Amino acid sequence: MKLSYTAMKTQMILILLGILGQFSAAKAGDSDAREIVRKAETKFNGEQSSYSEMILTIVRPAYERRIEFKTWAEQEGNSLTLITAPAKEKGQSFLKSGNNLWSWNPTIQRLIKLPPSMMAQGWMGSDYSNDDILRESSLVRDFTHHLKSEETIDGYPCYVVELLPLENSDVLWGKIVLWITKDSFLELQSEYYDEEGFRVKTHRAHTLKTFDQRLLPSVMEIIPADEPGSKTLVSIQKMQFNIPMAPNFFSQQNMKQIR
Amino acid sequence: MKIKDVLKIAWRNLWRNKRRTLITAASIFFAVFFAIFMRSFQLGTYGYMIEQSIESYTGYLQVQNPEYADDPSIDHSLALNPNVLRPVREHPNVEAVSPRIESFALISSGILSKGIMISGIDPLLEEGVSNPAQRLVRYQISKDAIARLKEERNLPASLFARLDSLSDQVYSNEKQLAADLELEESSEYLPTIQRYISLSHRFLTPGDSGVVISYRLARYLKVTAGDSIVLMGQGYQGISAAGVYPVRGLVRMASPELDNKLVYMDLGEARKFFSLNDRVSYLAINLNEPSEMVETQKDLQETLGFDQLVVKNWEEILPTLKQQIEGDNVSGKVFIGILYAIVFFGIFGTVVMMIAERRREFGVMIAVGMKRRKLSLIVSVEMLLLGIVGTLSGMLASVPVLLYGHYSPIHLTGEMARMYEEMGFDPLMPLALFEPYFFIQGAVVLSMILLVCLSPVQSIQKLDEIRAIRG
Amino acid sequence: MIGSIAWKNVWRNRKRSLIVIVAVLLGTVAGVFTAGLMKGWIAQRLHSVIHTEMAHIRINHPDYLLNEELVFGIPEPENLTRFLREDPRIEGFSGRTRVTAMAATARANTGIILNGIHPEEEKTVRNVHTKLIGNEGTYFDTPMQNPIVISDKTAEILRIKNYEITPEVIDSFRKAGVPEETCEKLSILLNQRFSTEKAFVKVLRQNLAHHEIKNFGSTLLAQSEHFRLRSRVVFTFTDSQGKLVYQTYKVCGVYKTNNTMFDQMNAFVLKEDLAEGAGFGPTDMHEIAVIAKEDTDVDALRNDMRALFPALSILSWKDLSPEAAMMTEFMDLWYLVIMGFILFALAFGIINTMLMAILERIKELGMLMAIGMNRRRVFRMIMLETVFLTLTGAVAGMGVGAIIIALTGKTGLNFSSVSEGFEAMGWSAHIFPEIDAGFFVMVTLLVILTGILSSIVPARKALSLNPVEAIRSE
């Protein structure tokens, strides 16, 4: 899932430690801002693959739901997710391959390709939409970047970068603001604004932990701006990188078999 | 002077000039009769349209979760327990209650998938409200069936031509079938044809694990009774919903919009699908006396309390329909108003002429000693009597017409009939029966007459009797 | 000669005749106005059906109509387009591609049909370009990438339409006649944005008095309406290969017709832009809409086209919208019925008047018959008198009615209190009455008929007189 790549990055310790020094004395320039974002986005590009176990919590004024799942992802963008809990949802799997999102439901033994009309819906009822999962809009490629200031979040000094979409990109947002740690180029917070300049949602990443020798925020929150009492949390229980993957792993067959 | 005498004189005066009396009375009669007839026609048609649209889908009242009106999602459902259902059922004005679950989902068959609306219903209870079973597709003039019918010896060739032109058409009942085939319903050919084109479809039974889907949807998915389809979506509080269901039959909906996306499911099955436990989207209610809708609404709201549930009437649920009817109603009233204005003028004219004609007579009466006031009274009573006779006779004459039109309404034919049936209504134009409008018309006419009386009264007051006698 | 006698007789009792004439005048005005209103209303609906929604004729691949699948484009369109260009009966035609898509903005999403068009071609067939609202929108005239024209309703759903009170807006309030104290009250709402009409109206209600809302409510709404042009809307759809595609369009104009259903479903983009996104070829199209020249027999044109292109589905607006077709047919019947009833009501008064006139002149009539005027002449005289009486009122009434229709025809009558209901069905709530000469001809004929029929009773009365007794009567 995309979640693995854009929100959690690990510094390739050796290489970047060196460059870090130069960045701390950064001048406020757009090319630097772009570099910052690029680093944050490509943090895990070196990794061939990843495996993670996460818990999704959907918080609503009237109720709360927990969903546990496993995800396998690879560099090209394909990913396979398997729901492991609760019992009612267990066994469903989702495949992101090429430009499509597929869903397998063991109860009905059917494989379905999600149509455009379902793209805006939240995945499993959360605030993270099918569209968010599927689309590959690049924070580097589709925007212009401006370094606004520096702020500290949770004790970590961050660059505050403002992103404005390019004319021709297929981006919904009018503006995105990112808080990226100066140390390890982790995206700790982002705010999404519509074209009128009103904030629509906020993402927060915190509780940094080490997974497979990489430092990552273990909890991510998606908080819609106009809905008090509603948010979505994802917490990483386990994560491994560069695990071996069978050649036809990301296939429809595998969706049905994966355990 | 006694009333009886006034009446006698007035009555005699009227008959002295038979022609004028008769013509004026006739014009009043006509006005009242026509006004009643037209109003009855209008109100009858609106009443009918409301009945048909509302009774056949929305229901006069609905019990909903207070948030449902603004956001009809499945999360804004209501818990259906006996405390809710019983008082509603027991209310004397409630004719039928049907709990419903309505929400969107994805239907899939093979590689085709589409967004649709699931309507979870209790097949027995729903019969009393929208009665979807009547729209079940029962006959299809398939190419296969035509081919086999052609082998039947005793069918005329003209019938084959008709069948060919109707290839692939579907029907819900014999009436439509017969109409299109241009046969009488009692025709001997009909049963033979029916045998070949009958479909083994059926509607849902209580607790049915299958679904009934709309016709155009079925054609898109290329499924028919006996095939299975997959439904997927989000249920209560976002829980995934998925299931495989056999198709029991197809229904033909009037609006093509709806015909493209409707799936009927048993209420229990829908609850399972959406993980709703004992909840439903809303209760649809039909009434015995639609005219008492607002009182019933108040009653039910009080019984059910004000925080958990809200009772809405069709005007609040379908404000556009209400506006359409209002608009129509207003134009109807305007037209009647015009009619009355014309009649008023006619009566006024008659009265003016009458005064002119009887100047001499009035002059004599006054000269001989009759008080002006008494004369005015007599003349006014004359007019009133005329008005009463005209109005009453108009009302009486309309009674048989209304009775007939109400209990055995005009049947539309041809294109109009088709249109009605497409919408799912019977092609009828019933007349309204005895509602307030009936008496209002009479009252209006009488008040017009009173108004008209002012003229002779005034004339008499100002009359110069000497001049009048001399003529 | 009988004519001039009859005419003079009418005026012998001025007061009495005038009463009848005025009554007939009023009745005729009422009838003419009602008919004009209905005719205008229906004409508008029809105009809308043809020039906004369906055009005169629509051509599709026969399988396209079932579920609008993208693969069923019009096959080999070159012959067809050549025919359409050359046939003298055709005013214009427009070939379109159509894709059902999900439109999304940061805040909302909805289903939409994207119509890929050639603006110049489309203008000959559809009048959407005349229905733009807002000050800066254009119909594909603003240079921008991937422009789209959406409806007011869509803009509202997608939250592109907002209500905002800026200092400029308050100025425009003042110009529109909103009083200073109201503007003062509204200044506390400066620079707040409301994304739904409901929310805005709620706030207005909280801050303004009831009468202020009643008098200026619609002005406030209209002036505060704000469409952010170049807003981006991202569309998701499956292309002709079944692949999921994203394409962004920017709003270049907002339109509003009086058919909310049409508005809600339709958005317009350039054919080449849609072709790029959906993978269509340059000559692919899903439908062709044709507008014929005025007074063309559309049915004949359709039949000719069907004969020439049997493989295509060719439907006229009557086929596509049978209710609209029926309305026009019913109309003529309705006028007849309305006028008929009015005249019937008036007939009583006319008969009464004429009878009185006859009775007054018994002596004179007796004399005329005694000196040799034959019965037929007497009958004709009375009949003519009745007809003249009635016709005078009717002609005056038609004159007044025509003036009223001419006046209201320009300004139109507004039924906005019930507008939502009508617009949901595609009917205008702002009606421009109109009437044609044929109607007046019909009225005249009906009036003459009424006159003749009304004259029967009095004429028979006259003819039944015995001339000798008549002369002697008082």
Taking alpha carbons only, the member of B267, B282, B279, B302 closest to residue B91 is B302
Tokens of A95: 């495949």
C128 lies in the same domain as C255: yes
**pTM for this prediction:** 0.77
Structure tokens at C145: 């990438």
Average confidence score pLDDT of chain A: 83
* Per-residue pLDDT, B464: 77
- Is position C319 within any domain? no
Say if residue C341 is in the same domain as residue C370: yes
Most C CBs within 10 A among A96, A114, A117, hence the mutation to make, goes to A117
Token pair recorded at residue B463: 């009359």
Residue A128: its H or E element: none
Q: Which of C181, C204, C227 is the last residue of a domain?
A: C227
The verdict on a CB contact (< 8 Å) between B244 and A63 is: no
* Helix and strand counts by DSSP (H, E) for chain C: 20, 15
pLDDT band at A10 (very low <50, low <70, confident <90, very high): very low
- Residue bearing the bigger pLDDT, B51 or B162: B162
**What are the CA-CA distances from residue C71 to residues A249, C62, C97, C238, C242 (Å)?**
33, 12, 11, 11, 10
Confidence of residue A15 (pLDDT cuts 50, 70, 90): very low
Q: Which of C320, C418, C454 to mutate to test the interface with B (most CBs of B within 10 A)?
A: C418
Alpha helices per DSSP H over C115-258: 119-123, 152-157, 167-175, 180-186, 197-207, 210-224
Does residue C414 sit in the same domain as residue C336?
yes
Q: Which residues pair with C161 in a beta bridge?
A: C227
- Is the ipTM of this structure higher than 0.85? no
Place of tokens 């109201």: C182
| Measured distance CA(A7)–CA(B428) in Å, rounded | 66
Q: How far apart are CA B385 and CA B392, in angstroms?
A: 10
Does the pLDDT at position A193 exceed 50? yes
Residue bearing the bigger pLDDT, B51 or A13: B51
Is-contact A205 A8, C-beta < 8 A? yes
Most confident of A162-166, B148-152, B425-429, C47-51: A162-166
B427 falls in which pLDDT band (50, 70, 90)? low
Contact A157, A181 (CB under 8 A): yes
Given C19, C418, C425, which is nearest B352 (Cβ)?
C19
SS (H, E, C) A204-255: EEEEEEEECCEEEEEEEEEEECCCCCCEEEEEEEEEEECCCCCCCCCCHHHH
Backbone φ and ψ of A143, nearest 5°: -135, 165
Give yes or no: residues C38 and C73 share one domain. no
What amino acid is encoded at B191 in this protein?
Answer: P
Strand partners, A50: A73, A241
User: Residue A114's closest chain B neighbor by CA?
Assistant: B113
- The per-residue DSSP string of B340-359 comes to HHHHHHHHHHHHHHHHHHTH
Q: In this structure, is residue C33 part of a structural domain?
A: yes
CA distance C102 to chain B (A): 12
Determine the Cα–Cα distance for residues B368 and A222; give it in Å rounded to an integer. Answer: 104
Range with the largest mean pLDDT of A147-151, B45-49, B315-319, C362-366 = A147-151
In tens, the pLDDT along C68-80 reads: 788 888 888 888 8
Calpha distance B417→B427 (Å, rounded): 5
Poorest-confidence range of A26-35, A36-45, B42-51, C397-406?
A: A26-35
Residue C127 lies inside a defined structural domain of this protein: yes
Q: Is residue C218 part of a domain?
A: yes
Let me know whether C153 and C186 are in one domain: no
Residues of B whose CB is below 8 A from A90: none
Query: Can you give the pLDDT at residue B417?
Result: 67
Overall average pLDDT of the B167-182 stretch? 80
Same domain, residue pair C108 and C254: yes
Residue C307 belongs to some domain of the structure: no
**Is the same domain home to C255 and C370?**
no
Q: Is the pLDDT of residue B430 over 50?
A: yes
C225: closest CA among C292, C296, C134, C319? C134
C305 Cβ neighbours under 8 A, 6+ residues apart: C57, C59, C83, C314
Rounded-to-integer distance, Cα A136 and Cα B250, Å: 42
Which residues in chain B touch residue A65, judged by CB atoms under 8 angstroms apart? Answer: 237-239
- Examine the pLDDT at A9 and tell me if it is beyond 60: no
Mean per-residue pLDDT, B318-337: 77
Which residues make beta-bridge pairs with C234? Answer: C104, C248
CA A181 to chain centre: 16
Three-class SS of residue C268? strand
Break chain C down into helix, strand, coil percent, rounded to 5: 60, 15, 25
The 10 Å Cβ neighbour count of residue B378 is: 21
For position A18, what pLDDT does the model report? 37
Q: Could B238 and A105 be called an inter-chain contact, meaning their C-beta atoms sit closer than 8 Å?
A: no
Is pLDDT of A4 > 50? no
pLDDT of residue C178: 80
Q: How far does C66 lie from chain A, in Å, by closest CA?
A: 19
**Closest to C190 measured CA to CA, from C209, C163, C210, C158:** C163
Say what the pLDDT of residue A16 is.
36
Burial of C103 (0-12, 13-18, 19+ CB in 10 A): buried
Cross-chain CB nearest to B349 (options C23, C27, C425): C23
**Is C313 a domain residue?**
no
Read off the pLDDT of each residue in B144-172 and give the average, rounded to a whole number. Answer: 80
Q: Tell me the per-residue pLDDT of B252-294, one tens digit each, with 9 for 90 and over.
A: 887 777 788 899 999 999 999 999 988 999 999 988 988 889 9
Residue pair C252/C230 in contact by the 8 Å Cβ criterion: yes
Q: Which residues of B touch C22 (CB under 8 A)?
A: 345
Question: Closest Cα to residue C365, out of C472, C456, C453, C450?
Answer: C472
Asked if pLDDT for residue A80 goes beyond 90, the answer is yes
Q: Write the pLDDT tens digit of every residue in B74-113.
A: 889 998 888 888 889 999 999 999 999 999 898 988 878 8
Question: Please, what sign has the CA dihedral across residues B54, B56, B58, B64?
Answer: positive
Question: Is C23 an interface residue toward B (CB < 8 Å)?
Answer: yes
* Residue B191, preceding peptide bond in cis (omega within 30° of 0): no
Indicate the SS3 state at residue B184: coil
- Contact, A21 vs A60, CB < 8 A? no
Task: Supply B53's token pair.
Answer: 């649209």
Which residues fall within 8 angstroms of residue C37, CB to CB, at 6 or more apart? Answer: C413, C431, C433
Separation CA A43–CA A4 (nearest Å): 11
SS3 call for A154: coil
- Report the greatest alpha carbon distance in chain B: 104
List, in sequence order, every residue forming a beta bridge with C430; answer none if it has no partner.
C414
Instruction: Give C 107-146 residues with CB within 8 A of chain A.
Output: 107, 109, 111, 145
Same domain, C207 and C235: no
Report the alpha-carbon distance of residue B362 to residue B87 in Å, rounded: 70
When pLDDT is averaged across residues A216-233 and rounded to a whole number, the result is: 91
State how many domains chain C has.
3
B232 contacts A124? CB cut-off 8 A: no
Contact flag C346-B346 (C-beta cutoff 8 Å): yes
Domain identity same for C378 and C434: yes
Tens digit of pLDDT for each residue in C166-210?
888 888 888 888 888 888 888 888 877 787 777 888 888 888 888
For chain A, which chains pass the contact test of at least 3 CB pairs under 8 Å? B, C
Q: Which chains touch C (3 or more CB pairs under 8 A)?
A: A, B
Separation CA B11–CA B6 (nearest Å): 8
C228–A195 CB contact, under 8 Å: yes
| Structural tokens at position C21 | 């004439």
A198 vs C contacts (CB less than 8 Å): 193
Q: Does residue C341 share a domain with residue C415?
A: yes
Helix (H) or strand (E) holding B101: strand B94-109
Our CA angle for A138, A141, A145, nearest 5°, is 100
Asked if residue C115 belongs to a domain, the reply is yes
Q: Does pLDDT of B175 surpass 80? A: no
Q: What is the DSSP letter of B188?
A: S
Q: How many CA atoms lie within 13 A of B209 on its CB side?
A: 6
Of the candidates C20, C30, C421, the beta carbon closest to that of B338 is on: C30
Q: Which of C101, C106, C247 sits opposite A173 (nearest CB)?
A: C106
The answer to whether the CB of C277 falls within 8 A of the CB of C70 is no
State the sign of the Cα–Cα–Cα–Cα dihedral C321, C323, C327, C333. Answer: positive
The torsion region of residue A161 among left (phi > 0), alpha (psi -120 to 50) and beta comes to beta
Domain endpoint, select from C195, C227, C259? C227
Q: How far apart are CA C409 and CA C416, in angstroms?
A: 17
Q: Does residue C308 sit within a domain?
A: no
Flag whether pLDDT at A13 surpasses 70.
no
Report chain A residues whose CB lies below 8 A from the CB of C192.
none
* pLDDT average, residue stretch A228-238: 93
Reported as a pLDDT band with limits 50, 70 and 90, residue A177 is very high
Give the whole-number percent of chain B exceeding pLDDT 70. Answer: 95
Given a contact cutoff of 8 angstroms between Cβ atoms, the answer to whether A185 and A36 are in contact is yes
- State the residue range of the domain holding C214: 161-227
C149 and C183 belong to one structural domain: no
Please say whether the dihedral angle defined by the alpha carbons of residues C350, C353, C359 and C361, taken in this order, is positive or negative. negative
Q: What are phi and psi of A200, to 5 degrees?
A: -105, -40
Contacts of B162 (CB under 8 A, 6+ apart): B180, B181, B182
What are the tens digits of pLDDT across the range B62-76? 999 988 888 888 889
Q: Extract the tokens encoding C274.
A: 């849609």
The candidate with the shortest Cα–Cα distance to B382, out of B69, B55, B11, is B11
| Higher per-residue confidence, A12 vs B244 | B244
Please give the angle made by the CA atoms of B359, C386 and C30, to the nearest 5 degrees. Answer: 90
Contact between chains at A170 and C248 (C-beta distance less than 8 A)? yes
Q: Are residues C27 and C62 in the same domain?
A: no
- Taking only Cα atoms into account, the Rg of chain C, rounded to an integer number of angstroms, comes to 32
Report, as an integer, the average pLDDT of C101-129.
90
pLDDT at A26: 38
Q: Which residue among C183, C201, C227 closes a domain?
A: C227
Report the 10 Å Cβ neighbour count for A46: 12
Angle, helices B293-304 vs B82-90, to 10°: value is 150
Token readout for C361 is 């002149």
What are C225's strand-pairing partners? C163
